[in-house]
Amino acid sequence: MPFFKVNENCNGCLACVQNCPAGALNYFDQEDSRKIMHNMSLCARCGHCWRICPQDAIEFKVLLTGRFDLVKTLDLVHCKVCGEPIYTPSFGETVSNDTQRSVEPLCPDHKGSEPVNVWKKLASKRASQ
Ligand code: SF4
Ligand code: SF4
């Protein structure tokens, strides 16, 4: 589903293209048609085009109401002492595999950081090799 949509109210005035501060809008005229282009990777999600459009033609509400798009949901392991969420099961597996030791589900206050620190040391050692 495209987050940026120009609906049928658009009359091709180009106010959006001319006022986009990020250069995320462009257009080209070809024979009988004007094509308005939007580049999501350049778009700053500022909503300026949406505010400035005299035709209410830009439908950008998804990005305006939700600054962050949900891209992934993961389970969490909780500290077995206090119940604080600490890391994901798959991260715990990675730490276990990389350190060759089982990881106790304990938060930093309950010594849970020790295996993570061991894994971080291993990871940075590997990166420097
Ligand atoms: S400002 Fe609105 S009406 Fe003008 S070209 Fe852009 S979307 Fe279309
Ligand atoms: S939201 Fe802002 S950066 Fe994105 S296209 Fe509209 S004016 Fe440009």
Digit-coded pLDDT (tens) for 12-37: 889 999 999 999 999 989 888 888 88
Q: Which CATH class is domain 5-65?
A: alpha beta
Q: Which helix (H) or strand (E) holds 86?
A: strand 85-87
Q: What are the structure tokens assigned to 86, written together? A: 């600490």
- Please indicate, yes or no, whether the overall pTM of this predicted structure exceeds 0.75: no
Closest Cα to residue 12, out of 45, 43, 47, 37? 37
Overall average pLDDT of the 90-116 stretch:
81
Q: What are the structure tokens assigned to 83, written together? A: 């119940």
CATH 3.30.70.20 residue ranges of the chain are 5-65
Report the separation in Å between the CA atom of 104 and the middle of ligand 1, taken as the mean of its atom positions.
57
Q: Which ligand is nearest to the CA of 50?
A: 2
Closest Cα to residue 17, out of 43, 67, 59? 43
**C-alpha span between 52 and 55 (Å, rounded):** 9
